[in-house]
Amino acid sequence: MAMKLYGAALSPFVRKTRVFMQHKGIDFEAVHVDPNNPPDDYAKINPLKRIPALEHDGRFLADSAVICQYLERIHPDSPLYPSDPYEYARCLWFEKFADYEVARDCTFAVFRNRIVMRLIGKECNEELVQKALAEKVPPLFEYLNGELEGREFLVGDQMSIADIALASQLVNFRHGGEKVCPDSYPNLAAHTARMHELTHFAKAIEKESGFVSKVLDAG
């Protein structure tokens, strides 16, 4: 039986997990769960009621980082974690940086206010968005831009979970009407452009952008 991935298309954590699975050629059924209104029994799958969650052979896992590590163990082909111990740890560091720091300021401040709030009929707090853009985002981008100096990928010379996690958060930044400024952060802008051009990201962006435009038009 195919695995089931519970979640919604616009979630950066779900997209990250989906791109990871697609890259590895893992078959899965996408089961829609709206994080703003999850079904009553979803707490049995994830007590935090967050997305994504994975069902495999009747067992469940939650959290994109946990799910991806599990999938890497059971599908080691097309590896998305480096084998060198230090590089492996660096990769986890960048994944965490994307999932917690970049997510907080690019997804939860910018995207959530400008898109999700409209979707659920609430007001966008543009003041909070502007504060994030002026004060919170620049140090994050400066750091990532420096780490990408002379490099194609965040760690080693192959794409890893770190690149996927970061690029996925920056899809939400883009849906929120922002982009990584190429004049201020040329390495990060180039990395983001390369990642977003990859087939699985490009298809997701195209599909999601149509939906985001409708949300904006309706608002």
Ligand X SMILES: N[C@@H](CCC(=O)N[C@@H](CS)C(=O)NCC(=O)O)C(=O)O
CB 94 within 8 A of CB 102: no
Question: Which of 107, 192 has the CB closer to ligand X?
Answer: 107
Residues 6+ apart with CB under 8 A from 104: 136
- 51 sits near ligand X (criterion: CB under 6 A): yes
Residues 6+ apart with CB under 8 A from 186: 145
Whole-number Å distance between alpha carbons of 180 and 184 = 8
Total site size for ligand X, rule CB under 6 A: 12
Taking CB under 6 A as the criterion, the residue among 20, 42, 45, 50 binding ligand X is: 50
**Among the listed residues 8, 23, 18, the one whose alpha carbon sits nearest the alpha carbon of residue 64:** 18
Taking CB under 6 A as the criterion, the residue among 15, 18, 19, 35 binding ligand X is: 35
Taking CB under 6 A as the binding criterion, the range among 57-65, 88-96, 135-143, 177-185 that sits at the site for ligand X is 57-65
Question: Which of 43, 181 has the CB closer to ligand X?
Answer: 43
Question: Which of 64, 160 has the CB closer to ligand X?
Answer: 64
Taking CB under 6 A as the criterion, the residue among 5, 6, 18, 63 binding ligand X is: 63
CB 12 within 8 A of CB 171: yes
Smallest separation (angstroms) from ligand X to the CB of 184: 27
Smallest separation (angstroms) from ligand X to the CB of 62: 7
Please report, as a single letter, which amino acid is at residue 98.
A
Whole-number Å distance between alpha carbons of 163 and 145 = 13
Residue-by-residue DSSP string for 65-115? HHHHHHHHHH--SS--S-SSHHHHHHHHHHHHIIIIIIIIIIIIIIIIIII
Taking CB under 6 A as the binding criterion, the range among 47-55, 133-141, 146-154, 191-199 that sits at the site for ligand X is 47-55
Question: Which of 69, 125 has the CB closer to ligand X?
Answer: 69
CB 204 within 8 A of CB 171: yes
Taking CB under 6 A as the binding criterion, the range among 44-52, 78-86, 188-196, 204-212 that sits at the site for ligand X is 44-52
- Give residues 99-118 in contact with ligand X (rule: CB under 6 A): 99
CB 163 within 8 A of CB 195: yes
Taking CB under 6 A as the criterion, the residue among 49, 75, 196, 200 binding ligand X is: 49
Q: Residues interacting with ligand X, by CB under 6 A?
A: 11-13, 35, 49-52, 63-65, 99
